[in-house]
Amino acid sequence: MSTGHATVKLPIPLANRLQALAGARNTAALVRVRRPRGAAQRALAARNFASNDYLGLSTDRRLRAATVRAAAAYGAGSGASALVCGYTDLHAALELELADFTGRSRALVFPSGYHANLAVLGALARRRDAVFADRLVHASLIDAIVLSRARLRRYAHRDPAALAAQLGASRAALKFVVSDGVFSMDGDIAPVRDLARVARRHDAVLFIDDAHGLGVIGPGGRGAVDLHACGEAEVPLLVGTFGKAFGAAGAFAAGPADLMEAVLQHGRTYAYTTALAPAATAAARAALAIIREEPWRRAHLAGLIDHFRAAAAAAGIGVLPSSTPIQPVPVGDARRALRLGDALCERGFNVPVIRPPTVPAGTARLRISLTARHCATDVDALVETLDELLRREGASP
């Protein structure tokens, strides 16, 4: 987009770098485009299959009211790091409520899940340690491991036996095992109980990032860890986010009090960043109350997931195995996936096209996410349109 400013003369190595980056993006159909969304598009929620707002809480009147009240009382921003003066009684109350909800001794609130992951591993892992990560963990976990300087080892997706073999062969001083609870681009659930058993046998510390599971799966919406009946003894490090099922923004880490104290004292992305805004903190509190009190949202979502899978199967549409609201339709080729995404968009459906490097090369997909704001008719309309477009794609040269 032209800004109307004179072109800035860049050092030649930087200009060359930009050219190389642009070339790589263009040849592999990997250019990303942002589409500004207006507030009025809320009305189009029925055709939005792109959002992680799984319980439909981001527009809930109680979250909006809590946000407005907190902004009026505390101001728009928190003003400083939590260790300076950014920590309010709203943050303190939310931490207690989260510890109670997750059955952990202590919780710490962060401005985002990215911050939380970096803080946990940054505070606890060191150069001589090793972190064993599922091959498909979220990018923020990879960055957290790289920044911690611990050795990164990746094990085959959802494969406790492969993990056990790697752990057994490791001489690292301290070993961590890291996995998403619900995998963000695949929608499948980590075998948390088996990971915990293997980790315990090898004296490793298990860290589950359940950004996409908390609020949605497990008893009472307590996520993948509770689904596998794992408390903090089995999973000492747990991260959850408020940007997805909670419908707000921000995140938390939870676990034994001494581990959380170390994260508070030594987590650089806890100390050296502005604390979560009071308004978002209040919204997360309101969301947590709803998650606890309104199980019908999860029940409705579970019904929609079954409905979608049955309708897709009846139409012969392949969907990756997933019992969560993330229902990926594998396409393979990035260009073909883009064509399908654009065609869906022309019909009024917002379905994100996920391409490398977010997913491995050759595994581009449409990432359909269902939310409690959808109904069966919305799902039918999507499946019908997708079926027609896939048939047409199949027939095209």
Stretch of residues binding ligand PLP (CB under 6 A), selected from 72-80, 83-91, 207-215, 338-346:
207-215
Q: Do residues 33 and 25 lie in contact, with contact meaning Cβ atoms separated by under 8 Å?
A: no
- Count interface residues toward ligand PLP (CB under 6 A): 13
Return the beta strands (E) in the chain as ranges: 106-110, 130-134, 151-155, 175-180, 205-209, 237-241, 251-255, 326-332, 353-354, 364-369
Binding mask 125-164 for ligand PLP (x = CB under 6 A): -------------x-x------------------------
Q: In the complex, what is the shortest distance from the CB of residue 46 to ligand PLP, in angstroms, rounded to a whole number?
A: 24
Q: In the complex, what is the shortest distance from the CB of residue 27 to ligand PLP, in angstroms, rounded to a whole number?
A: 28
Three-state DSSP at 41 gives helix
* Site membership for ligand PLP, residue 213 (CB under 6 A): no
Q: Which residue type occupies 151?
A: R
Stretch of residues binding ligand PLP (CB under 6 A), selected from 208-216, 289-297, 316-324, 354-362:
208-216
Using CB under 6 A, which of 49, 101, 114, 132 touches ligand PLP? 114
Which tokens in the block code for residue 371?
């939310």
Rounded Cα–Cα distance for residues 119 and 144 (Å): 8
Q: In the complex, what is the shortest distance from the CB of residue 120 to ligand PLP, in angstroms, rounded to a whole number?
A: 11
Which CB, 140 or 166, lies closer to ligand PLP? 140
Paired residues of 121 in beta bridges: none
* Site membership for ligand PLP, residue 234 (CB under 6 A): no
Three-state DSSP at 48 gives strand
* Site membership for ligand PLP, residue 369 (CB under 6 A): no
Q: Give the residue at shortest CB distance from ligand PLP.
A: 113
Query: Which among 311, 291, 286 has a CA at the least distance from the CA of 378?
Result: 311
Q: Do residues 272 and 341 lie in contact, with contact meaning Cβ atoms separated by under 8 Å?
A: no
Using CB under 6 A, which of 53, 134, 180, 186 touches ligand PLP? 180
Using CB under 6 A, which of 129, 186, 188, 209 touches ligand PLP? 209
* Site membership for ligand PLP, residue 374 (CB under 6 A): no
Q: Which residue type occupies 315?
A: A
DSSP letters, 153-199, are EEE-TT-HHHHHHHHHH---SSEEEEEESB-TTT--B--HHHHHHHH
Using CB under 6 A, which of 70, 86, 109, 113 touches ligand PLP? 113
User: Backbone phi, then psi, for 283, in 5-degree steps?
Assistant: -65, -40
Q: In the complex, what is the shortest distance from the CB of residue 154 to ligand PLP, in angstroms, rounded to a whole number?
A: 16
Residue 343 makes CB contacts below 8 A (sequence gap 6+) with 389
Which CB, 138 or 374, lies closer to ligand PLP? 138
Stretch of residues binding ligand PLP (CB under 6 A), selected from 95-103, 107-115, 126-134, 366-374:
107-115
Three-state DSSP at 365 gives strand
* Site membership for ligand PLP, residue 269 (CB under 6 A): no
* Site membership for ligand PLP, residue 186 (CB under 6 A): no
Using CB under 6 A, which of 211, 263, 283, 329 touches ligand PLP? 211
Count of other CB atoms within 10 angstroms of residue 166: 20
Which CB, 251 or 301, lies closer to ligand PLP? 251
Q: In the complex, what is the shortest distance from the CB of residue 309 to ligand PLP, in angstroms, rounded to a whole number?
A: 22
Three-state DSSP at 39 gives helix
Rounded Cα–Cα distance for residues 65 and 71 (Å): 10
* Secondary structure letter of residue 239 according to DSSP: E
* Site membership for ligand PLP, residue 273 (CB under 6 A): no
Three-state DSSP at 392 gives helix
Stretch of residues binding ligand PLP (CB under 6 A), selected from 57-65, 109-117, 269-277, 314-322:
109-117
Q: Which residues bind ligand PLP (CB under 6 A)?
A: 112-114, 138, 140, 180, 184, 209, 211-212, 241, 243, 251
